[in-house]
Structure 1
Amino acid sequence: MTKKWGIRALILFGMYALAMYFYIFHSESGGIPAAFKGTVADPSVFMSERELYLSEEYSKIRNYLFFVATPFEWLVYLFILTTGLSQAFERWITLQKKWVIFQNAIYVFLLSLITFIALFPLNYYRYYLSKYYEISTQSFNSWMRDNVIEFWVNFLIAVVIVTVLYWLININTKKWWLNAWLLMIPFSIFLMFIKPVVIDPLYNDFYPLTNKELETEILSLAKQANIPTEHVYEVNMAEKTNALNAYVTGIGSNARIVLWDTTLNRLSENEILFIMAHEMGHYVEKHIYFGIAGYLITMLVGLWLTAKLMPWVIAHFGGILKIQRINAVHSLPLFLLFSSFLLFASSPLSNYISRYQETRADLYAMELVADPDAAVSTFQELTKAGLSEVNPPILVKWFRYSHPPMLERINKVANEIGKEE
């Protein structure tokens, strides 16, 4: 029976992967509408023939990998369950009950290790692609170092979450989801608070912006926006990527405005000021706090659905999945599978909300700096640096794009230039 279900899962995955291949590589979706051809939003106007070719090729491969990688992760969890590996991991740990946190730590380590190994080829291929298309400048050693850091950071966080989660399930198998959600609220806010000063510096060096004249200009914009900040931070990303970025991170006293040094090296002062005004727009419109609220609502719904679905699945397929009961830690891969599936299924909605917020931040930036030309050239440079697809197919936009496609963003600011003229 287990073998039959495994073959069915592989066949279903193969059919899905084939369908996505034809959709991404051979459908007529995407492209540049006739109304935009020859305008500043048309990539053929601001990109070379080689850049256009590489952008199309790179985007298609990345999109296909995205749609295949998540279902492949589900297969990995199913494999760990149906082969009895998860149950075996728990059996191998023979510590007394009072050492439950160490039992969980060993189990989470074994589970994390096997999933890391199973997903490593896909992750390495992504890295290889970014190097091949000259997006990444990162050495393999540096890339592996980041992966190892991420492994241990995620491991430590997972041990805490898993220990508390299964403690709650053991206390109350009916209402554990609500108690887990209530505890996750302060825990999530705590992680957001410490991320800029504890977690992010593990990967990169952050320091106050070295260009003091530019910092003065940025802080002047911040003052106009009533943003209480004394420093703009620069991060050394040139040794890892050619892409451009800037962002606002953290909450409360640990909130930071951060500029990648690649952005500083490639963009003009007016373009940088537009990007900074965009990030300030997120602050002014409270998008960080809306994001936290949205995350908590999503988590509440996800935990409730998981609490309803897991007992049903265990009751009907527990023998195939080698799960004896929900409150045993060997059921964790099923919990992770549900979490991954629900996040994937909800991504069109979360991305839609994010794209709306990004559009609002763009409008705020245009109002604050009043330089549509700088906005157009900024988006053009971002497109070239990341070999971005300016008008992706609809499924790609729904599931992948947390920002509006560049065709929409450039067209919107170009219309502002038309109004001024």
Structure 2
Amino acid sequence: MPISDAPASLATALTLAFAAALCLGLALKFWLASRQIRHVARHRGAVPAPFAERITLAAHRKAADYTIAKLRLGLLDTALGAAVLLGWTLLGGLDALNQALLGWLGGGLVQQLALLAAFAAISGLIDLPLSLYQTFVVEERFGFNKLTWRLWLADALKGLLVGALIGLPIAALILWTMGAAGPLWWLWAWGLWMGFNLLLMVVYPTFIAPLFNKFQPLEDESLKARVTALMQRCGFAAKGLFVMDGSRRSAHANAYFTGFGAAKRVVFYDTLLRQLSPGEVEAVLAHELGHFKHRHIVQRMVVLFALSLAGFALLGWLSNQVWFYTGLGVRPSLSIDPSLAAAPNDALALLLFMLVVPVFMFFVSPLFSQQSRRHEFQADAYAMAQASGADLSSALLKLYEDNASTLTPDPVYVKFYYSHPPATERLARMQSPALP
């Protein structure tokens, strides 16, 4: 696609805006994490009064220590991420990688795919040490990690293979669309991306998830009958009820719905079934059904579709602007000789867009967190109407304790990051459903 030139002042403005947003976001993340660490540490010595009869002091202190350990590692990860982002962009890392691959492969689709693959591989290697430390040190220290090195390696190899088999074809299709579909390529690319995501929702539970975990039909007939009756009352149909061997990798417990349309299925972690009574399992499932009843899933998909459409439209415009590349430390491929075609810049545009947009979107993330917390309250209210409120309250407390979730988060940190309300707010709302 042709690239339009523009005054250097636009490139300078983008450089300054990006640098300012990166620094401000980094400072805000550090401030929020520091608040959370201080707040959790300050309340470590006493269980909050509403939980004093259910949560032991030892469990409360474990949750505080676990939260602080993750936050401190998160601070390091945040600093490293900002440095790496700066290295890829303004310090010329992405430009150097692109120029090296152009010199080796020339311009074309193969070079663009190689650029995406090389970027993903280098980014993965950079993230690997902290990821391993999180799993085999932090999670291990608090008794949550069940992964062996052999299982981790098997998961990593499977992930690479699945990522290559799925990611490379869709990337090639989108890159081809960017170069061949004319000025409205972004609309066609958006349609392809959305179709791919919908297809993945159907394919994932049947073909991809079983590569990593074992899924067996729920065998507890009493629980199965209870859960089936609940779903019938709620008007929800699923392809099956399955138990996943989550305990092979972690002691954390969970339950979720997966799939789309006729491929929907209910999945319980085996750890969840061990920790909760049948009534508590029913209440947790009723909460998840509440999300469907209130159409939260559909609402999130609509928001995702709208944001991705806006994102592709913005990328369609930015990818034609020289200042978009130069302002972020990258030289686009331009041919001085009008008779010669310049090498495509589509992969460069994609990577720059994916690197830069999260820097600016971070500042509006509290709006999405607030909406998510509101949805959780609605799902809790629905669960209380369909199952036992006492069971739901008891299940939540068990899950908070078993997952070492802090009961005393910093209120400002909650408003910015939490997708689920803190335990104190959820239990208060359950006791007084009329609260706004």
Q: Normalized against structure 1, the TM-score is what?
A: 0.83
Aligned pair partner of 1:334 in 343, 347, 352: 352
Q: Secondary structure at the match of 2:266?
A: strand
**For residues 373 and 315 of structure 1, do their structure 2 counterparts lie closer, same or farther at Cα, with a shift above 3 Å needed?**
closer
Task: Tell me the amino acid that sits aligned with residue 327 of structure 1.
Answer: N
The Cα RMSD (Å) is 3.4
Per-residue deviation, 1:364: 1.0
Work out the CA distance in 2 between the residues paired with 1:56 and 1:346: 28
**For residues 89 and 285 of structure 1, do their structure 2 counterparts lie closer, same or farther at Cα, with a shift above 3 Å needed?**
farther
Task: Tell me the amino acid that sits aligned with residue 429 of structure 2.
Answer: K
Per-residue deviation, 1:262: 0.4
Q: Is the counterpart of residue 320 in structure 1 residue 320 in structure 2?
A: no
Work out the CA distance in 1 between the residues paired with 2:291 and 2:42: 29
**For residues 245 and 111 of structure 1, do their structure 2 counterparts lie closer, same or farther at Cα, with a shift above 3 Å needed?**
same
Task: Tell me the amino acid that sits aligned with residue 59 of structure 1.
Answer: T
Task: Tell me the amino acid that sits aligned with residue 119 of structure 1.
Answer: D
In the alignment, is the contact (CA less than 8 A) between 2:60 and 2:407 conserved in 1? Answer: no
Q: Is the counterpart of residue 87 in structure 1 residue 104 in structure 2?
A: no
Give the aligned partner of residue 47 of structure 1.
55
Correspondences of 1:178-257 after superposition (within 5 Å): 178-229=187-238, 231-257=240-266
Work out the CA distance in 2 between the residues paired with 1:201 and 1:232: 14
Correspondences of 1:64-103 after superposition (within 5 Å): 64-66=72-74, 69=77, 72-81=80-89, 82-83=92-93, 84-91=95-102, 93-94=104-105, 97=108, 100=109, 102-103=110-111
Work out the CA distance in 1 between the residues paired with 2:260 and 2:102: 42
Work out the CA distance in 2 between the residues paired with 1:109 and 1:274: 44
* Deviations, residues 314-346 of structure 1 (Å, cap 9, x unaligned): 457358334446734344431220243355444
Per-residue deviation, 1:170: 2.5
* Deviations, residues 29-88 of structure 1 (Å, cap 9, x unaligned): 9969x9x9422xx3x442222222221122133245446635643542442451343214
Work out the CA distance in 2 between the residues paired with 1:344 and 1:121: 25
Per-residue deviation, 1:350: 2.5
**For residues 302 and 392 of structure 1, do their structure 2 counterparts lie closer, same or farther at Cα, with a shift above 3 Å needed?**
farther
| Structure 2, unaligned runs of 5 or more | 1-14, 335-343
In the alignment, is the contact (CA less than 8 A) between 1:204 and 1:236 conserved in 2? Answer: yes
Correspondences of 1:27-42 after superposition (within 5 Å): 37-39=48-50, 42=51
Per-residue deviation, 1:240: 1.5
Correspondences of 1:13-412 after superposition (within 5 Å): 19-20=31-32, 22-26=34-38, 37-39=48-50, 42=51, 44-66=52-74, 69=77, 72-81=80-89, 82-83=92-93, 84-91=95-102, 93-94=104-105, 97=108, 100=109, 102-127=110-135, 128-171=137-180, 175-229=184-238, 231-309=240-318, 314-315=323-324, 317=326, 320-324=329-333, 327-341=345-359, 344-369=362-387, 371-412=388-429
Q: Secondary structure at the match of 1:389?
A: coil
In the alignment, is the contact (CA less than 8 A) between 1:351 and 1:400 conserved in 2? Answer: yes
Work out the CA distance in 1 between the residues paired with 2:404 and 2:40: 20
Q: Secondary structure at the match of 2:216?
A: strand
Task: Tell me the amino acid that sits aligned with residue 368 of structure 1.
Answer: Q
Work out the CA distance in 2 between the residues paired with 1:90 and 1:281: 50
In the alignment, is the contact (CA less than 8 A) between 2:217 and 2:241 conserved in 1? Answer: yes
Give the aligned partner of residue 419 of structure 1.
none
**For residues 29 and 48 of structure 1, do their structure 2 counterparts lie closer, same or farther at Cα, with a shift above 3 Å needed?**
closer
Per-residue deviation, 1:126: 1.8
In the alignment, is the contact (CA less than 8 A) between 1:80 and 1:333 conserved in 2? Answer: no
Task: Tell me the amino acid that sits aligned with residue 388 of structure 1.
Answer: S
In the alignment, is the contact (CA less than 8 A) between 2:26 and 2:79 conserved in 1? Answer: no
In the alignment, is the contact (CA less than 8 A) between 2:318 and 2:324 conserved in 1? Answer: no
Q: How many residue pairs were aligned?
A: 403
Work out the CA distance in 2 between the residues paired with 1:405 and 1:111: 38
Per-residue deviation, 1:351: 2.4
258-267 or 8-17, which deviates more: 8-17
Work out the CA distance in 1 between the residues paired with 2:204 and 2:386: 29
Q: Secondary structure at the match of 1:169?
A: helix
Task: Tell me the amino acid that sits aligned with residue 300 of structure 1.
Answer: L
| Structure 1, unaligned runs of 5 or more | 417-421
247-256 or 382-391, which deviates more: 382-391
Per-residue deviation, 1:116: 0.6
Per-residue deviation, 1:91: 1.8
Q: Normalized against structure 2, the TM-score is what?
A: 0.80
Per-residue deviation, 1:393: 2.4
Work out the CA distance in 1 between the residues paired with 2:278 and 2:271: 13
In the alignment, is the contact (CA less than 8 A) between 2:255 and 2:272 conserved in 1? Answer: yes
**For residues 320 and 327 of structure 1, do their structure 2 counterparts lie closer, same or farther at Cα, with a shift above 3 Å needed?**
closer
**For residues 301 and 264 of structure 1, do their structure 2 counterparts lie closer, same or farther at Cα, with a shift above 3 Å needed?**
same
- Work out which structure has the larger RCO, using CA pairs closer than 8 Å and 6 or more positions apart in sequence: 2
In the alignment, is the contact (CA less than 8 A) between 1:306 and 1:338 conserved in 2? Answer: no
Identity of aligned residues (%): 24
Q: Secondary structure at the match of 1:238?
A: helix
Task: Tell me the amino acid that sits aligned with residue 53 of structure 1.
Answer: R
In the alignment, is the contact (CA less than 8 A) between 2:102 and 2:111 conserved in 1? Answer: no
Per-residue deviation, 1:202: 1.7
Give the aligned partner of residue 431 of structure 2.
414
